[in-house]
Amino acid sequence: MTTNDSPFTAKAVFAGGCFWCTEAVFEQLDGVGAVESGYAGGSPEAANYEAVCTGKTGHAEVIRVDYDPQRISYEQLLDVFFDAHDPTQLNQQGADRGTQYRSAIFYANDTERRAAEQKIAALTQSGKFTKPIVTTLEPLETFFPAETYHQDFARANPLHPYIQAQATPKVCKIREKHPGLVNPGQ
């Protein structure tokens, strides 16, 4: 975790499907100090894996990224976010289905909201995606950390079949598309 004198002073919260996959993608970025899996969008009482899996809590599986804005910008994090998942799939990523797997950006302030709106507009105009982007922009009210066993799951379980089939390809895709953003020590 970060300390008060840490350069990792900014935070961003993204939902791009399963938090195991999203966490693995962002952990490899230079300028990212920590990535924590969690929940956002619902009540404190429902911020647990068993409840969130029902798809009825309002929560999404999210990650909170602690980063150094002098080394990686919020806009670069948005680039990685949109390249790491399919933002045109409504309430799912691959075989994972339900509102808890929605594509969402949980913004903490108007600057983040505007940056996300501009990114979506630019991607839409570019024609990069053949279907409309369904990523929601939601105000971040509270981030709830996920249970301990979810933290660093891909790193701790690299041979897990789900990690090999889902997370590893996303990690590799970002390494290929954004080699300048990947921490050379990763």
pLDDT of 1 higher than 80: no
CA dist., res. 102 & res. 116, Å (int): 16
**Catalytic annotation present for 53:** no
What pLDDT is stored for residue 7 in this prediction?
A: 82
Whether pLDDT at 4 is above 80:
no
pLDDT top residue among 9 and 44: 44
How far is residue 94 from each of residues 120, 157, 159, measured CA to CA in Å? 21, 20, 19
Strand, coil or helix: what is 62?
strand
Question: What distance in Å separates the CA atoms of residue 75 and residue 60, rounded to the nearest whole number?
Answer: 22
The fold of the 10-145+154-178 domain, in CATH, is Peptide Methionine Sulfoxide Reductase; Chain A (3.30.1060)
pLDDT digits (tens, 9 = 90+) for 79-102: 999 999 999 999 999 889 999 999
Mean pLDDT of 152-174: 97
What would the mean pLDDT of 126-149 be, rounded to a whole number? 97
For 37, phi then psi, to 5°, come to: -80, 145
pLDDT at res. 2: 41
Tell me the DSSP string of 129-166: SSS----EEEE----EEPPGGGTTHHHH-TT-HHIIII
Q: What's the confidence (pLDDT) of residue 36?
A: 98
What's residue 5's pLDDT? 65
Nearest of 93, 71, 131, 70 to residue 14 by alpha carbon = 93
Q: Residue 167 carries which DSSP code?
A: I
pLDDT of residue 185: 78
Rounded Cα distance between 45 and 91, Å, is 22
Sheet holding 136-139, edge to edge: 136-139, 103-107, 10-16, 60-67, 32-40, 144-145
Domain ranges of the chain: 10-145+154-178
Q: What is the pLDDT of residue 3?
A: 45
Structure tokens at 44: 């404190």
Tokens 């009825």 label which residue? 56
- The pLDDT of residue 186 is 72
Q: Evaluate if residue 103 carries a pLDDT over 70.
A: yes
Catalytic residue among 18, 21, 53, 172: 18
The answer to whether residues 101 and 92 touch, using CB atoms and an 8 Å cutoff, is yes
